[in-house]
Structure formats: structure tokens, C-alpha cells
């Protein structure tokens, strides 16, 4: 139970004095749900503990990376050993070779370049696509988030929806002039865009299965359709697996639909809780990158030895058994949520993509069966989510503080945690039911 929040509140005051909004990434703020963000002090398995001593079942998992749970003993030991040998050399190291090999073994990419964040991965993939094709235009989907890359903040999901910012000030019209934004899951819109601009499009980028407008999986064959229309038009198909990669299956969403993109982007799980990300693809495309080719891309801390050690150790521990457990845990949680909300008559839609899922607090249970795009995801009763969120928090469950986010499970969630969750859900469903539409 989170009874006391004085220390979080005091830290939030101090943070707000030195940092905009008191947080270093907007989704950490509680703007969408109200209240004071909790400042965490430690994590252990499926739990995190804040500075006031409140412990929470963690269903955010650092927004994806903590697949194995917090402070996994083997990851911690590997990181400690790596740190004791030095933290960065600015030279190649063995761990980055091994992480590259692990990514190539798990996914269809032939070559990979390591970077430090998902944003860098997508930004670099776009530059490579433009450099390799000699074309300028980029296609993206409304509600898909690919990090805070200027050209891709034309109408993004996640934090941007939550904060209600249309695009964002600071990105010039010239920067997004070559970005075409289309409704997700809409083949006709994609066909029309390619009919008009086909020979100018360098790449189409999509989340492999979107999780940043809530979980909105692709319709059957949508990714295969995207891959084909790109190929037919000489454009590159970029699948962003920063969220789904190494989380949904050993490879990612690729392990579900098997569509082979030209380029892929990864992050989150592959850093094991440290800043590591990557982009990769066909060897002939990747050879355009410096120093082999002329497309420049670089990073002082790219392939950092601590981050690559954490990521490599995490991936090596993420066996088939781990993915089976994640699937089972996710299915159980979805069932518990559905049961609690149904009992209180709270309209909702739960959508999953493998073990990723989210709960949409839709206006009514009549008619709404599936959320297919950003517009559908937007039609939620947000005060109902806020009441649900705070009741869960009070009962010791940490959910994403926004109705437009996926819930992330870890392999550390056990039966005791699930029992705690069931208890929390009963009160949270009552709190949600008390909010009138």
C-alpha cells in the first residue's frame, strides 16, 4: 500500500526547480492522471520500492526493458564485473561483437549498428534509407511513436497524445515537409500515398505491432502488404521493434508474422536496463554506413561495454521458457483485469500483441470490439482511467500513468504477485465504475 508520499513529494519539488516538469522524460510525469510521480529507490524481481518505502508490483518495467525483472542476480553480477574493468574506452570491445552476433542470430538482420537509444536507432535508419535510395520522403502512421526524431514528430503517439501537443513546437515545417502521416491499418491510405508519391518515398516506418497508442496490432497481412508496396515502389520498409523486439518472442513481432523488413530498429530489452539500442538490416544496405560507405553515423558511447554486457546477459537468459512464462503471465493478468472490470460493469477493450497488452477505457461496451487506429484509441473516458490508475497505485500496483500505453510484464511475476494484483483490481474497478461518463 502506498500510504506515505512525503519524500516523493519533496523530491518532486526539488526536481521541478531544476528540471522542466520535474521529470527527465514526459511519460514519467503524472500529468494525465494527476498527483505526484513516485521516486523509486530500488527494484527487486517484479517489485519496485519508492523513497517513502512503498513497494509496488511493477507493470511498467522501465517501459519495456526489464524483461527478467529488477536486479536479476546474473545480470547484476555481469554488470558489476564489467564495471570493475572500466566503463568506456572509445574502442571496439568483445561484448559489442557478441551482442551484435546475438541480434543477428535472433532476427532477420544481416548486419547491425549499435547506438544508445531507440530515438537514435530510428533517426539513423531514416538517414540510411534516404542515403541509400537518394529519395527524401518518409511515410509513418498516426499513433506510431518512433522516439523524438524531429521528422517523425509530425503526429506522434504516447507522450505527445497524453500531453495533447499536436506535433510539437520546435520542429519546423521544413523538417516534416517530407513526412507523410497516414492512419494505421489503412491499406487504402497507404496505396493512395504510394500512387501519388511512390518514386519519392525513401522509406515507410511502422511499429512492428504498435504499442504507443495502446496496443493496436496490425490487421492480418498488413505488414506483408507494407513490405510489398515498398518493394514494388523501390522504397525501404523499416520495422521499428524498439518496444516489441526481444520482448514478444525471442526476436520480437518478427517471430509472430515473419515479415522480413529491409531495416529494423531495436532498443529497450537489448540494453538490459542500460542505454543500448540498434538498427540493422540487409548487408548491402548497411554497407552504405560510414566507415564502409558514405552515410555518416556515430556515437561516443555506442556499444558501451556496460550496456552491451547487461543486454547480452539479459538476452542469453531470455530463453524459450522465459517467453512461455511471459505469455502465460500476461494472459492471466488480462483475464484478471477483464473479470474485475466486468464485475463492476466498466466498459473496456483489452488488446494484446503477444505478451504486450493494454486496457482501453472505452465509452460504452456497445459496438466497440476492436481498436484499429489512433482515432479509435483516442475515444476513451480518461477520468475513468485516472481513477483506476490511482486506486491501483494506492493498492501497490504501478501501471503506466497514461491510458495510451502498453502494460509490460516481467518473468519475475509470481503467484503471490498475481494474488496481490487480483485484490488491487477489485478496488480499482470499483473506483473506475464510480466515475460517470
Q: List, by residue number, the catalytic residues.
A: 145, 240, 268
Contact 256, 272 (CB under 8 A): no
β-pair type (40-44, 47-50): antiparallel
Task: Compute the least distance from the CB of residue 277 to ligand PLP, in Å.
Answer: 6
Nearer to ligand PLP, 147 or 272 (CB): 147
Residue 105 class from Cβ within 10 Å (0-12 exposed, 13-18 middle, 19+ buried)? exposed
Query: Mutual orientation of helices 222-232 and 187-197 as an angle, nearest 10°?
Result: 10
Contact 330, 352 (CB under 8 A): yes
Choosing from 95, 201, 238, 242, the residue that interacts with ligand PLP (CB under 6 A) is 242
The CB-nearest residue to ligand PLP is 118
Residue 162 interacts with ligand PLP (CB under 6 A): yes or no: no
C-alpha span between 391 and 408 (Å, rounded): 19
DSSP one-letter code for 198: G
Choosing from 146, 250, 325, 384, the residue that interacts with ligand PLP (CB under 6 A) is 146
Nearer to ligand PLP, 175 or 200 (CB): 175
Choosing from 5, 8, 62, 122, the residue that interacts with ligand PLP (CB under 6 A) is 122
Task: Compute the least distance from the CB of residue 427 to ligand PLP, in Å.
Answer: 30
Stretch that binds ligand PLP, among 66-74, 84-92, 140-148, 341-349 (CB under 6 A): 140-148
Contact 69, 412 (CB under 8 A): yes
Residues 177-236 that bind ligand PLP (CB under 6 A): 207, 212
Residue 10 class from Cβ within 10 Å (0-12 exposed, 13-18 middle, 19+ buried)? middle
Nearer to ligand PLP, 63 or 374 (CB): 63
Residue 251 interacts with ligand PLP (CB under 6 A): yes or no: no
Q: 3-state DSSP call for residue 208?
A: coil
Choosing from 75, 125, 205, 243, the residue that interacts with ligand PLP (CB under 6 A) is 243
Residue 117 interacts with ligand PLP (CB under 6 A): yes or no: yes
Helix ranges, 35-91 (H): 73-84
C-alpha span between 49 and 39 (Å, rounded): 9
DSSP percent split of the chain into helix, strand, coil, nearest 5: 45, 15, 40
Choosing from 145, 184, 246, 398, the residue that interacts with ligand PLP (CB under 6 A) is 145
Task: Compute the least distance from the CB of residue 119 to ligand PLP, in Å.
Answer: 3
Residue 118 interacts with ligand PLP (CB under 6 A): yes or no: yes
Task: Compute the least distance from the CB of residue 241 to ligand PLP, in Å.
Answer: 7
Q: Which residues bind ligand PLP (CB under 6 A)?
A: 63, 117-119, 122, 145-147, 207, 212, 240, 242-243, 267, 277
Amino acid at each position: 500500500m502506498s500510504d506515505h508520499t512525503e519524500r516523493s513529494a519533496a523530491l518532486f519539488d526539488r526536481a521541478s526547480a531544476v528540471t522542466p516538469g520535474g521529470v527527465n522524460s514526459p511519460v514519467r510525469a503524472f500529468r494525465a492522471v494527476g498527483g505526484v510521480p513516485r521516486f523509486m529507490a530500488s527494484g527487486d524481481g517484479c517489485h519496485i520500492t519508492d523513497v517513502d518505502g512503498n513497494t509496488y508490483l511493477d507493470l511498467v518495467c522501465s517501459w519495456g526493458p526489464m524483461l527478467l525483472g529488477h536486479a536479476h542476480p546474473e545480470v547484476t553480477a555481469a554488470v558489476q564485473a564489467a564495471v570493475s574493468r572500466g566503463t568506456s574506452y572509445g574502442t571496439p570491445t568483445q561484448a559489442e561483437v557478441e551482442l551484435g552476433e546475438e541480434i543477428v542470430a535472433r532476427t532477420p538482420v544481416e548486419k547491425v549498428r549499435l547506438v544508445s537509444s531507440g530515438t537514435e536507432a530510428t533517426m539513423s535508419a531514416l538517414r540510411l534509407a534516404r542515403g541509400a535510395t537518394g529519395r527524401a520522403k518518409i511515410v509513418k502512421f498516426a499513433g506510431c511513436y518512433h522516439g523524438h526524431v524531429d521528422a517523425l514528430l509530425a503526429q506522434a503517439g504516447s507522450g505527445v497524445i497524453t500531453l495533447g501537443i499536436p506535433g510539437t513546437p520546435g520542429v519546423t515545417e521544413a523538417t516534416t515537409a517530407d513526412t507523410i502521416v497516414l492512419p494505421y491499418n489503412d491499406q487504402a491510405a497507404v496505396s493512395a500515398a504510394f500512387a501519388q508519391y511512390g518514386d519519392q518515398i525513401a522509406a515507410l516506418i511502422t511499429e512492428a505491432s504498435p504499442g504507443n497508442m495502446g496496443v493496436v496490432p496490425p490487421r492480418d497481412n498488413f505488414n506483408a502488404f507494407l513490405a510489398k508496396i515498398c518493394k514494388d515502389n523501390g522504397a525501404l520498409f523499416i520495422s521499428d521493434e524498439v518496444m516489441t523486439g526481444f520482448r514478444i518472442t525471442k526476436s520480437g513481432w518478427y517471430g509472430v508474422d515473419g515479415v522480413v523488413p529491409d531495416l529494423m530498429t531495436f532498443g529497450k530489452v537489448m540494453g538490459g536496463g542500460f542505454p543500448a539500442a540498434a538498427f540493422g538490416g540487409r548487408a548491402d544496405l548497411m554497407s552504405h554506413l560510414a566507415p564502409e560507405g558514405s552515410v555518416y553515423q556515430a556515437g561516443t558511447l555506442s556499444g558501451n561495454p556496460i550496456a552491451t554486457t547487461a543486454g547480452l546477459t539479459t538476452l542469453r537468459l531470455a530463453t524459450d521458457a522465459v517467453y512461455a512464462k511471459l505469455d502465460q503471465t500476461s494472459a492471466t493478468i488480462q483475464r484478471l483485469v477483464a473479470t474485475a472490470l466486468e464485475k463492476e460493469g466498466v466498459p473496456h477493450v483489452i488488446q494484446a500483441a503477444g505478451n504486450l497488452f493494454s486496457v482501453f477505457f472505452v465509452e460504452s461496451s456497445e459496438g466497440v470490439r476492436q481498436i484499429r487506429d489512433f482515432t479509435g484509441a483516442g475515444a476513451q473516458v480518461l477520468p475513468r482511467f485516472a481513477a483506476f490508475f490511482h486506486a491501483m497505485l494506492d493498492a501497490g500496483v504501478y501501471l503506466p500513468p497514461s491510458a495510451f500505453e502498453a502494460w509490460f510484464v516481467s518473468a519475475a511475476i509470481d503467484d503471490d504477485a498475481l494474488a496481490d494484483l487480483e485484490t488491487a483490481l477489485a478496488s480499482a474497478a470499483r473506483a473506475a465504475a464510480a466515475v460517470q461518463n
